[in-house]
Amino acid sequence: MNIHLTKIEEKDMEYIYKWLSDSEFLKYYDYYPPVPQSKKDVDKTFHYYENSGKSKVFAVKNESQIIGIAGFDDIIKENAVATLFIGLGEKSIHGKGYGTETMKLLLNYGFNELNLHRIQLNVLSFNDRAIALYEKFGFKKEGALREFVLRDGKRYDLFFYGLLKHEWKIHIKKGP
């Protein structure tokens, strides 16, 4: 396993288009309704990410093959806070430690390169694997929007998690 974060290249976009038009991927990726996105919508989103100054988005690669996207959104430099996201789109790699390796890289980048004080995220209450990953890295559950999301005719909570830099430093000494 050789996971690294890189700038998204044009050749990566075909995979990103595929994932963001896959309703199963979208079911876990975001709290918005999992409606497949057109290439035009995806291009518009990534144009915003590149030009807003409030986002940092990476291709997650194993060797040279893209396996997902990850990064930070809603970066508020003055407060040194950002919202983390991970979406590993290649289903064949799920459950094999790629999320753990990606999270290590993201937290290191966020706390050391962006010099963030706080990294936060949101996750749907049915996404047990993601919740286990976040808690493994020391994220604390800070709240919930009850019955916020409708998926497959059922209501689910949206959980909020946060991790402070000093908590992360303590956590990495122990090891995840």
The CATH architecture to which 3-174 belongs is 3-Layer(aba) Sandwich (3.40)
pLDDT in tens, 145-154: 999 999 889 9
DSSP string, the chain: --EEEEPPPGGGHHHHHHHTT-HHHHHHH-SS--PPPPHHHHHHHHHHHHHSSS-EEEEEEETTEEEEEEEEEEEETTTTEEEEEEEE--GGGTTTTHHHHHHHHHHHIIIIIS--SEEEEEEETT-HHHHHHHHHTT-EEEEEEEEEEEETTEEEEEEEEEEEHHHHHHHHHH--
Which range is least confidently modeled, 47-51, 102-106, 146-150? 47-51
Mean pLDDT of 17-21: 87
Provide the whole-model pTM. Answer: 0.90
Domain ranges of the chain: 3-174
The answer on pLDDT for 51 being more than 80 is no
- More confident site: 37 or 78: 78
